[in-house]
């Protein structure tokens, strides 16, 4: 037995582990540096970008639907009727609902971005801990952050107001029929005569 001789194998293992931990720390610093720009103002901007994309489309659809409704009401002779007032009120209700839906979808878009970014950060940190390669961690963080920073492709909105003028011709016909329903039965015109 030899006492007092240093265990060089244990020293090497300890040195390698210290170097590995240092590399992990450097890699994590690179990841954190790249991902720190994803802060609350970033998510607010992501939410606003969705609204900026969708708002003109909602407004265009609403204005076009009102124009079509006005034409349909005029053709049907219902422009100043209760049907016209009801349809215009329905249009405004649908517009308000579309605004609310758009804001909820904007919130969801920002939350989806937050989730994707946090998942990416966690994945990069896990890989960094496994590989202990600070250069690879830095390059992966830069690449992933760039892709996550790009705006997503937004889906176009569906036709929100397409049914506003639906059935107006039928409504006008029904109202005309109602007004002209019984004149021949109870009228006193020359065609109504009693034969004896």
DSSP 30-56: HHHHHHTT-SHHHHHHHHHHHHHHHHH
pLDDT tens digits, 113-140: 999 999 999 999 999 999 999 999 999 9
Q: Quick check: pTM over 0.95? A: no
Q: At 61, is the secondary structure helix, strand, or coil? A: helix
Please name the residues in contact with 153: beta carbons below 8 A apart, sequence gap of 6 or more: none
Average pLDDT, the chain: 84
pLDDT in the model for residue 175: 58
Rounded CA separation 120/90 (Å):
44
At which residue do the structure tokens 């170097």 appear? 19
Higher pLDDT, 103 or 72: 103
Q: Where are the alpha helices (DSSP H) in the chain?
A: 8-35, 40-76, 82-131, 134-149, 168-179, 183-186
């Amino acid at each position: 037995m030899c006492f007092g001789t240093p265990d060089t194998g244990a020293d090497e293992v300890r040195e390698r582990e210290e170097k590995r931990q240092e590399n992990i720390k450097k890699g994590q610093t690179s990841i954190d540096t790249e991902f720190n720009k994803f802060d609350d103002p970033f998510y607010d901007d992501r939410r606003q970008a969705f609204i900026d994309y969708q708002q003109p489309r909602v407004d265009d659809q609403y204005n076009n639907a009102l124009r079509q409704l006005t034409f349909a009401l005029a053709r049907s002779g219902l422009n100043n009727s209760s049907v016209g007032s009801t349809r215009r009120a329905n249009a405004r209700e649908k517009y308000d609902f579309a605004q609310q839906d758009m804001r909820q979808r904007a919130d969801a878009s920002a939350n989806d971005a937050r989730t994707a970014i946090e998942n990416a950060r966690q994945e990069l940190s896990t890989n960094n801990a496994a590989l202990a390669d600070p250069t690879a961690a830095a390059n992966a963080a830069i690449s992933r952050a760039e892709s996550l920073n790009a705006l997503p492709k937004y889906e176009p909105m569906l036709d929100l107001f397409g049914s506003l003028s639906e059935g107006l011709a039928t409504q006008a016909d029904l109202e005309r029929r109602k007004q002209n329903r019984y004149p021949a039965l109870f009228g006193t015109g020359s065609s109504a005569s009693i034969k004896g």
